[in-house]
Structures are given as C-alpha cells and as structure tokens.
Amino acid sequence: MEVAQRLQRIPPYPFREIAAIKRAMAEQGVEPIDFGIGDPDMPTPPFVIEALYEAAQDPATHPYDESGFGIPEFKQAVADFGQRRFGIEVSTDNEIQCCLGSKEALAHIIWAYVDPSDVVLVPEPAYSVYKVQTTWCGGAPFPLPLDPAAAFLPDLSAIPSSVANAAKLLFLNYPNNPTGAVATREFYEKAVAFAHQWDLIIVQDAAYSEVYYEDYLPSSLLEIEGAKDVCIEMHSFSKSFNMTGWRVAWAWGGEQPVGALSKVKANVDSGTFMAVQRAGAVALSHYDQFAPTMRAEYQARRDALVDGLNSLGWNLARPQATFYIWAPVPPNFATSAEFCAALLQKCEVLAIPGTTYGDAGEGWFRMSLTLNGADKLGQIREAISRIGQRMPGLWG
C-alpha cells in the first residue's frame, strides 16, 4: 500500500540517515569520532532521577493527565522559573502547556495555525521541523536567509509586504541551531514590532536557552513588552538537563497560541506521564545546582574545538551559547557534503553538512560538542590532530 502523498512530500528525517551511515561503518569495525547529532552525553542529574523514582511509585501519577495543560505542580515550577530566570510573569491558568519534547510542540503549533497555502516565515539554515511540518500541512515556507554578515539574524525588513501580509507564523530559534548565534534584545524588539505590524505569531524555539557561556545570558522573547500578545516560546528539558529521552518540555506565551497548541495536543496525545512532570518540576526548582557544571564542561570542549580548528587555519569566534560549532567549508571542496564525506573517509571524523539545515547551509558544516565515549577533550584533540595530518593545507 502506498503511503499518503503528504508523507511522500517530505524528506526522511536527516539524523535517521546519519545513524544508518554510522551503523554501516560500525559493521566494518570503524567508529568515527562523532560530532554529529546534538544529544547530550552527560547523564540526567541524579536528583531528577530520584524524583522520578519517587513519583512513579505514587499511583496517582499513573492515569492520563486530565489537566490538559499539565499538572499544577509542573506549571507552577515553570512559572517560578520564568520569574527567577527571566523576570517574566506567566499565568499557570492558560499561558503554559506541558509538551512531549519541544519538537512535538513545534510541529503541533504549525498544525494549529497553518491551512493549505498559508505562508510561514522560516529561517535558513534551521532545525528541519519548521519547514517540514509547514510543508506537511500544505503551507508555503518562505525562507529567511541567516547571513553570517548579519550575525545570523534574519533581515525582517527585507520580507516583501505581500509575504508578510500573508504570513501566519514567524519562526525564530535563539540561541540558534546550527549556527550557535544569539539574538540581541534589539532584534527581539524589532521582531515583536514586526509581528504586531503584520498580525502574525512568532514561534521562538528556545531549546538552547540554558546552554550559554561566560557572561552571556540568553533572554526570553517574553521579556519584550507586548510579546505575549504575539508569541509562543518553546522550552525544553532535553538540552538544559540532559533529559532528551524523557520527552518533556513546555510552551509559554499568549493565551490564544497556547490554547491552540493545547487543543491540537488534546486530540493527538494524552499528555506527559505525570511522574515525569513531577520530576521536571524538581529539575526546574534545583536548576542552579546543576547547570553551572554542565556549562563548564561544554565550555572546555568548545574552547578545545574552536582553538583546534583555528590552529588548522579556520578563523572562528567562540559561540556564546549552544553546543554547536558552525564553520565554513575550506576552499577546494565544491559542497559541504563533499567536505564532510572526505572528513569521514580520511579522518574518521563525523560532522554534519550545512545543507542538512537547508540550502542556505551550503558552504558550512556543523560539529556538536556532545560526544560519546570517554575522554571528550582527548577525542577533540585527536580529531584535530587527524585533520591536521591527513588533510594538510586545507586553508592553503
């Protein structure tokens, strides 16, 4: 039986394909140094696991979560975190939705708003979900190129009025995957004004809001005056608490978009396991105990990888947030895929071609600081040494 045209229209999920390449290499006894998928390699903090263990033993957590938006304890912990971390007020009544990971929320907000041929403003390069789900709904993704010369912030003033007028959603993602870029407050102010002007909803993907370095502190879009009327922001426990497999996240923002997301979810899933929500609440309340150690670890890896690549001829700045290094492909390689294939074959180093994140990613590749196996800094040094020895003179 042929699958629906709808499913035929969308490409396979990129990281499934990369996993298949890794499996094929493993069958030949080759295990690359893997800078591929951005899946934290550190374990979930023990106090969160203990909270889950305790909550899972309470039969009250075993049924469906009939609250719809999330249990009161979870929503209160989210609201308190919003107050402490960003200085924002979010109502536990109708401005927070617990989600099964932010990917689910990002996909379903599109299903909530996009009818066939509706325009969605999608940055490029970007996490694939925004464009793929828009296409899936029959919508028309309009690409917003992220120019390195503009610090990877989209030029909203370059969007033709006819497009802005037809657009229902504007996707933003800061701190950004794959570029590691961060948004200025000034940019957020412009984005909120743009959303008011054209009567559209901003979906800000804040999955990396807690992975930041030194004195840089990412803002929430909700800090901007008037944002709540035009915005829904997705946060995740995945990267911030090493909880990718737990599938727990939250959306907060205006009552209307949060309610719309909730209505889709009510008809598709039956909420997050309440024991996981309780553990999530504990994670948020003890956040400061844990996050500095995680950031220090990524910072050491970031410095080792950026300094290492620079020693080979790159000229990269250290990203202020995320665990991604976004680097230009050296000359003499026609495409980012060609460079990444050479890196894999000659050095057994796995990096992701920029085109995985859209055509605008051509000429770039991404390396994630999440690494499996022991001695992460040793693996980074080994990768740099292999590239230096086996691919000499990359930059002439």
Ligand X SMILES: Cc1ncc(COP(=O)(O)O)c(C=O)c1O
Q: Which of 135, 238, 242, 379 binds ligand X (CB under 6 A)?
A: 238
Q: 260-289: string of b/e by CB count within 10 Å (b at 16+)?
A: bbbebbeeeeebbbbbbbbbbbbbbbbbee
Answer yes or no whether residue 272 interacts with ligand X by CB under 6 A.
no
User: 127 or 298, CB closer to ligand X?
Assistant: 127
Decide if residue 103 touches ligand X (CB under 6 A).
yes
Up-side HSE of residue 341: CA atoms within 13 Å toward CB?
6
Nearest to residue 144, comparing CAs of 114, 123, 128, 120? 123
Q: Contact between 97 and ligand X (CB under 6 A)?
A: no
From the CB of residue 225, how many other CB atoms can be counted at a distance below 10 Å? 9
When asked if residue 356 is in the footprint of ligand X (CB under 6 A), the reply is no
Q: Which stretch binds ligand X (CB under 6 A): 49-57, 101-109, 272-280, 329-337?
A: 101-109
Shortest separation between residue 60's beta carbon and ligand X, angstroms = 26
Q: Does 370 bind ligand X (CB under 6 A)?
A: no
Q: Does 252 bind ligand X (CB under 6 A)?
A: no
Site for ligand X contains 218 (CB under 6 A)? no
224 touches ligand X (CB under 6 A): no
Q: Is 127 in the site for ligand X (CB under 6 A)?
A: yes
Q: Does 205 bind ligand X (CB under 6 A)?
A: yes
Per CB under 6 A, does 326 bind ligand X?
A: no
* DSSP per residue, 265-296: HHHH-----HHHHHHHHHHHHTHHHHHHHHHH
Instruction: Count interface residues toward ligand X (CB under 6 A).
Output: 13
DSSP alpha helix (H) spans, the chain? 5-8, 14-27, 46-56, 72-81, 102-113, 129-136, 161-166, 185-198, 237-240, 255-268, 274-285, 287-311, 336-347, 376-390
Burial class of 151 by CB neighbour count within 10 A (0 to 12, 13 to 18, 19+): middle
Does 141 sit behind a cis peptide bond, omega within 30 degrees of 0 on the bond before it? no
DSSP 8-state code for residue 321: B
Per this entry, what is the length of the chain? 396
In the complex with ligand X, the residue whose CB is nearer, 181 or 249, is 249
Site for ligand X in 157-176 (CB under 6 A): 173
CA pair distance 394, 371, nearest whole angstrom:
24
Cβ neighbors of 200 (< 8 A, separation 6 or more) are: 121, 164, 167, 168, 169, 170, 230
Stretch that binds ligand X, among 98-106, 135-143, 221-229, 341-349 (CB under 6 A): 98-106
Q: Does 108 bind ligand X (CB under 6 A)?
A: no
Whole-angstrom distance, CA of residue 210 vs CA of residue 191? 21
| 367 touches ligand X (CB under 6 A) | no
Stretch near ligand X under the rule CB under 6 A, chosen from 2-10, 95-103, 264-272, 340-348: 95-103
- The verdict on 323 binding ligand X (CB under 6 A) reads no
* Cβ 104 to ligand X shortest distance, Å: 6
Q: And the tokens for 282?
A: 């504990």
Query: Which class for 256: exposed (0-12), middle (13-18), buried (19 or more C-beta within 10 A)?
Result: middle
Residue nearer to ligand X on the CB measure, 201 or 384: 201
Q: Which of residues 33-62 bind ligand X (CB under 6 A)?
A: 38
| DSSP letter assigned to residue 357 | G
Indicate the SS3 state at residue 207: coil
Please give the Cα distance from 55 to 139 (Å, whole number).
41
CB closer to ligand X out of 249 and 275: 249
368 binds ligand X (CB under 6 A): no
Beta partners for residue 171, in sequence order: 203
Interacting stretch for ligand X, rule CB under 6 A, among 51-59, 97-105, 107-115, 192-200? 97-105
Residue 101 within binding range of ligand X, rule CB under 6 A: yes
From the list 134, 236, 277, 356, which residue makes contact with ligand X (rule: CB under 6 A)?
Answer: 236
Q: Is 207 in the site for ligand X (CB under 6 A)?
A: yes
For the bound state, the minimum distance from the C-beta of residue 5 to ligand X, rounded and expressed in Å, comes to 26
In DSSP terms, 326 is beta-bridged to 366
Return the residue of 44, 97, 102, 356 that touches ligand X, per CB under 6 A. 102
Between 42 and 163, name the residue whose CB sits nearer to ligand X: 42
Site for ligand X, rule CB under 6 A: 38, 101-103, 127, 173, 177, 205, 207, 236, 238, 244, 249
